[in-house]
Structure 1
């Protein structure tokens, strides 16, 4: 009987692992397809061989400029920002055991956005300063939300409500900055706030790429501990997890990558909110969904940008399309949680 039980458990683990590999492989292939489409499609559709030659540095009239100067930075920005939003959103949702507890809803993205808009509209600083200010503001926002939500004891529900209040306050601050800013700076700030890959440049991407390369592996390596945190404070502690240290490492890593991504592309709406639940539905439970969530984020951003650019008569920023996808799900989730008494 014991042997049969062990075989059943091993078979279940094997099936879950195979499903994880299959889903991750499909998501990777889709990301590659969307990336290729972003390099091929535009006002002019270039042959694949010409695009490859341009990427290798060969000078082809028209093709080289369009591919290396316009399309490649746009694709890379969507790729790394999408992965950052997906990973960070899933990390917060899992760590706090609530699908509403993602950087968009609890105000972290708003904190980074407020700092970035202030730097763009008021201070007219460089992109490097915008990125640094976004990271610092994101970390300060997390600290303020955590302090205000503690009370006599820590409460996830209180943290979410405080985060929503902080987000409203920061959005009001952003609106005020736009009102007092110079008229010529407003269009650029509004385009940035909508979440857009338009105008992405190679010199803006190193900070985003480096932050994702450094801090995403930290989150992935802490994946098992993150799954244990989902079981609750006492259960995680009994399994040998240093909960405070693990949370700090996860929060700092997640805030840095999402703040830098926000500074680069603007706050692309609902990607951090949608990526984790979609990945969980596709992969299931039992294994870490960090990488699948990041890949779902990549596919959401790249696919939404392609839809916004080519599916309508007017071209829309990627954040408009992801907002249209995410808003109905947010309403549905709020209704469902209210019926369950989780709100």
Structure 2
């Protein structure tokens, strides 16, 4: 693979035209094969590496916790195919699906929140507040309470519900185009409509159906199996590359719709693509673990402040979301003796202060209404 490194504006080096020109915050690069160019920010790279290391540590700790405590060294060995058969059985068949569900759901929610907040230029834009998560939840609860899923399963129902909510938000926000501000406001209204529908289904369902739906609605990793993980893995394999490819187009939207159109960006096409990718991530994540609260809202904001970027970086946001879910799951399992709380209870407690802080910050900046 041949790499051509191009100068960063403001720095020149006539002695070596292909040597990377460095600034305090970024390094520009261009690859000949494949034809890719971009800007590497050292701080973002360091933060992502640190988050990846912490996420792997939290992942191993989650796997080691259970009725039979396992040393971290044995867990790491078993994850890479070594160790004794008993430890490998416990790790791979009993504990790995739950830990992997937390990891992948956190990544899905974190990346989805980063895309929506970048597209709308609003830190309060997240699937939790825009009706996408609630739409997926309403569809899944309807399948549980009414007893039909048309062969779609939880993942299929969640995807249809999220797509329906997102389409409704986009249509109602359309007025000779859409803006991030209108999308967020309409999304809040759709979220409450979906929440009301879910409450109605819960009230009219049988007791055992309501209990099953309630356990899922809180956001829960208990009892995850490989059958529930496989669709999420397949979805992320398609949607995460798409999210990264949309990053360049999203950056042009930050300059305003008129400037973006002048640069050749199809503004509405990009917004629709971002919504579809975000909906897919949220739908499959919600179908696997339920609507884990506030991860999609808080993770991008934490990642943005760690990296010092103008908007939430998707990779860092995904890693932050994964770390949040894994740590929250560990707290949920250890907070009350002999009781495993749903992970959504802990993320809600941790994420609510972030929402309040964002609202206070918006009001102080004069944009809070």
TM-score, scaled to structure 1: 0.91
Unmatched segments (≥5 aa) in structure 1? none
Instruction: Deviation per CA, 1:91-133: give whole Å up to 9, x if none.
Output: 0010011111211101110000000111122225499522112
Instruction: Deviation per CA, 1:296-321: give whole Å up to 9, x if none.
Output: 11101011111111133343211111
Greater CA drift, 234-243 or 100-109: 234-243
2:363 aligned residue (314, 332, 338): 338
Q: In 2, distance between residues paired with 1:310 and 1:209?
A: 28
Q: Is contact 1:77-1:200 (8 Å) kept?
A: yes
Q: Where do residues 283-294 of structure 1 align in structure 2 (5 Å cutoff)?
A: 283-285=307-309, 289-294=313-318
Q: In 1, distance between residues paired with 2:78 and 2:212?
A: 33
Q: Where do residues 118-129 of structure 1 align in structure 2 (5 Å cutoff)?
A: 118-123=142-147, 125=149, 128-129=152-153
Q: In the alignment, which residue of structure 1 is the partner of 2:41? A: 17
Q: Determine whether 1:7 maps to 2:32.
A: no
Unmatched segments (≥5 aa) in structure 2? 1-6, 13-20, 28-39
Greater CA drift, 190-199 or 219-228: 219-228
Instruction: Deviation per CA, 1:213-269: give whole Å up to 9, x if none.
Output: 111101101211112212221122222222222222221111111101101100000
Aligned residues: 340
Q: Where do residues 73-152 of structure 1 align in structure 2 (5 Å cutoff)?
A: 73-123=97-147, 125=149, 128-151=152-175
> How far 1:58 moved relative to its partner?
7.2
Q: Determine whether 1:317 maps to 2:342.
A: yes
Q: Where do residues 153-192 of structure 1 align in structure 2 (5 Å cutoff)?
A: 154-192=178-216
1:327 aligned residue (324, 348, 352): 352
Q: In 2, distance between residues paired with 1:241 and 1:232?
A: 11
Q: Is contact 2:61-2:72 (8 Å) kept?
A: no
Q: Where do residues 23-102 of structure 1 align in structure 2 (5 Å cutoff)?
A: 23-48=47-72, 50-51=74-75, 52-53=77-78, 56=81, 60-61=85-86, 63-102=87-126
> How far 1:65 moved relative to its partner?
4.6
TM-score, scaled to structure 2: 0.85
* Root mean square deviation, CA, Å: 2.5
